């Protein structure tokens, strides 16, 4: 079972790290009926309750026993920022050295939560601020679902019982498909009717293209898939997304096709960060059309979001419009992602949190905070 590292000294089991099946196991292991898991999951994820003493449908002796052996700990909120456009960003502390970021993006017809899967990222995509800061560690289940829990709490969902978060995208810090087991358990809770009850299509996992894990995601979770493509040839993609050297473009596209087929032809979303003079020519757009020709695909063009020290620049609106037009004329549904929360550095690729990158062979480096 994944361990939460929030309270190193506290050896009690953190029930925040458990989806329904692992919590059932926990209760059976302590000699209780498995249905206790149903009650506790509802208390935590539908009522927002983390005190065993408030769980009134558990007997007093069971509550006392749980207080002794278990805990329900989610990441602690360090700061909250709100953008002029209504986007909210939270910095959450997951341990003494690491903080992660979570972003809520309200729109007219939906509310999307952008969730992190790792503290930092090991992918080193050259245009991404998270990638520049390095990798610290995988997040535990409770640290991933804790972002959903905390956002629901702060947005008033547990009091109003109104669904404020309608969509979840795993597009925050880190590469979700390199933290598979914990991401799967967190997705189970996102989908579980006893917890957040989201439809599979409303949960999206974004990946640079970790092919073996894409197959597992399809089999085990069946949620929507987004691929960070960003280039139409291997030379350029090697530079922008270094994992391309291991899993090249054509293999990523073949795995995407397989994914879509298994999902009854649901389209895969391809994210394409538009970089001035790098991948934004009309020829690039035509090449992208060719690559996606026989694949159920949607394209999200992401205007580049700047960060200190980067050499890349955002393409002009006219260039991005022209690029989009070429794709649309070829019948590919293409959306230009409107940058949200730029004034609070909450836009794509700007999430940095505070992480202590690992130096060399897994040592924890100097703490940033």
305 binds ligand SAH (CB under 6 A): yes
Distances (CA, A) of 10 to 1, 13, 65, 73, 74: 16, 8, 16, 10, 13
User: Near ligand SAH by CB under 6 A, which window of 148-156, 210-218, 298-306, 361-369?
Assistant: 298-306
Q: How big is the site for ligand SAH, counted in residues (CB under 6 A)?
A: 17
Smallest distance, ligand SAH to C-beta of residue 279, A: 12
User: To 10 degrees, the CA torsion angle through 175, 114, 75, 41?
Assistant: -100
- Of the residues 17, 19, 73, 175, which one makes contact with ligand SAH according to CB under 6 A: 175
Smallest distance, ligand SAH to C-beta of residue 23, A: 28
Q: Long-range contacts of range 321-328, CB-CB < 8 Å, 24 or more positions apart?
A: 322/282, 322/285, 323/274, 323/280, 323/282, 323/284, 323/285, 326/282, 326/285, 326/286, 326/289, 327/285, 327/288, 327/289, 327/299
What are the structure tokens assigned to 286, written together? Answer: 């035509």
Residues 79-138 that bind ligand SAH (CB under 6 A): 123, 125, 127-128
Residues 6+ apart with CB under 8 A from 336: 300, 301, 303, 320, 321, 324
What are the structure tokens assigned to 285, written together? Answer: 């757009």
- The binding track of 127-166 with respect to ligand SAH, each residue x by CB under 6 A or -, is xx--------------------------------------
Q: Rounded distance, CA 214 to CA 207, Å?
A: 8
CB-CB contact of 347 with 339 (8 Å):
yes
271 binds ligand SAH (CB under 6 A): yes
Q: Would you call 348 a catalytic residue per the annotation?
A: yes
Of the two residues 27 and 259, which places its CB atom closer to ligand SAH in the complex? 259
Q: Rounded distance, CA 48 to CA 263, Å?
A: 33
171 binds ligand SAH (CB under 6 A): yes
User: Near ligand SAH by CB under 6 A, which window of 23-31, 54-62, 205-213, 353-361?
Assistant: 205-213
Smallest distance, ligand SAH to C-beta of residue 92, A: 17
- Of the residues 195, 203, 302, 356, which one makes contact with ligand SAH according to CB under 6 A: 302
Q: Would you call 101 a catalytic residue per the annotation?
A: yes
Smallest distance, ligand SAH to C-beta of residue 273, A: 4
Q: Rounded distance, CA 142 to CA 41, Å?
A: 12
Smallest distance, ligand SAH to C-beta of residue 280, A: 13
Q: Report phi then psi at 172, rounded to 5.
A: -85, -140
Smallest distance, ligand SAH to C-beta of residue 208, A: 5
Residues 225-244 that bind ligand SAH (CB under 6 A): 228
Q: Which of 24, 101, 143, 175 is catalytic?
A: 101
Q: Rounded distance, CA 284 to CA 236, Å?
A: 11
Q: Which of 99, 125, 128, 348 is catalytic?
A: 348
Of the two residues 14 and 206, which places its CB atom closer to ligand SAH in the complex? 206
Q: Rounded distance, CA 290 to CA 51, Å?
A: 56
What are the structure tokens assigned to 79, written together? Answer: 């700061």
269 binds ligand SAH (CB under 6 A): no
Of the two residues 136 and 305, which places its CB atom closer to ligand SAH in the complex? 305
The DSSP-derived string for 127-163 is T-HHHHH-EEEEPPHHHHHHHHHHHHHHTTHHHH---
Distances (CA, A) of 191 to 94, 119, 194, 204, 218: 24, 23, 9, 12, 15
Of the two residues 195 and 229, which places its CB atom closer to ligand SAH in the complex? 229
179 binds ligand SAH (CB under 6 A): no
Q: What is the binding site for ligand SAH (CB under 6 A)?
A: 123, 125, 127-128, 171, 175, 206-208, 228, 271, 273, 302, 304-305, 348-349
Catalytic annotation, residues? 101, 348
């Amino acid at each position: 079972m994944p361990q939460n590292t929030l309270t190193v000294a506290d050896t009690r089991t953190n029930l925040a790290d458990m989806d329904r099946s692992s919590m059932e196991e926990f209760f059976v292991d302590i000699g209780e009926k498995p249905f206790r898991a149903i009650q506790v999951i509802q208390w935590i994820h539908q009522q927002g309750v983390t005190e065993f003493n408030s769980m009134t449908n558990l007997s007093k002796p069971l509550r006392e026993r749980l207080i002794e052996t278990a805990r329900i700990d989610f990441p602690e909120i360090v700061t909250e920022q709100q953008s002029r456009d209504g986007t909210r960003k939270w910095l959450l502390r997951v341990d003494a050295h690491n903080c992660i970021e979570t972003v809520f993006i309200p729109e007219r017809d939906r509310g999307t939560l952008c969730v992190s899967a790792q503290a930092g990222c090991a992918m080193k995509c050259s245009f991404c601020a998270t990638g520049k800061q390095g990798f610290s560690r995988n997040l535990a289940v409770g640290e991933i679902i804790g972002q959903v829990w905390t956002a629901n709490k702060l947005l008033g969902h547990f009091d109003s019982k109104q669904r404020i978060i309608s969509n979840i995208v795993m597009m925050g810090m880190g590469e979700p498909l390199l933290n598979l087991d914990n991401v799967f358990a967190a997705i189970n809770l996102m989908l579980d009717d006893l917890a957040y009850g989201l439809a599979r299509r409303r949960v999206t996992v974004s990946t640079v293209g970790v092919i073996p894990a894409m197959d597992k995601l399809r089999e085990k979770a069946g949620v929507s898939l987004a691929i960070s493509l960003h280039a139409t040839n291997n030379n350029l993609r090697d530079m922008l997304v270094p994992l391309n050297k291991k899993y090249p473009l054509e293999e990523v596209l073949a795995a995407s096709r397989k994914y879509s087929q298994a999902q009854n032809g649901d389209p895969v979303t391809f994210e394409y960060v538009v970089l001035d003079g790098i991948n934004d020519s009309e020829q690039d757009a035509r090449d992208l059309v060719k690559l996606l020709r026989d694949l159920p695909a949607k394209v999200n063009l992401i205007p580049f979001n700047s960060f200190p020290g980067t050499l890349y620049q955002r393409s002009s609106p006219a260039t991005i419009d022209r690029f989009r037009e070429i794709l649309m004329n070829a019948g590919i549904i293409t959306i230009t992602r409107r940058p949200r929360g730029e004034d609070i550095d909450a836009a794509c690729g700007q999430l940095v949190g505070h992480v202590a990158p690992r130096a060399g062979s897994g040592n924890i480096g100097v703490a940033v905070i």
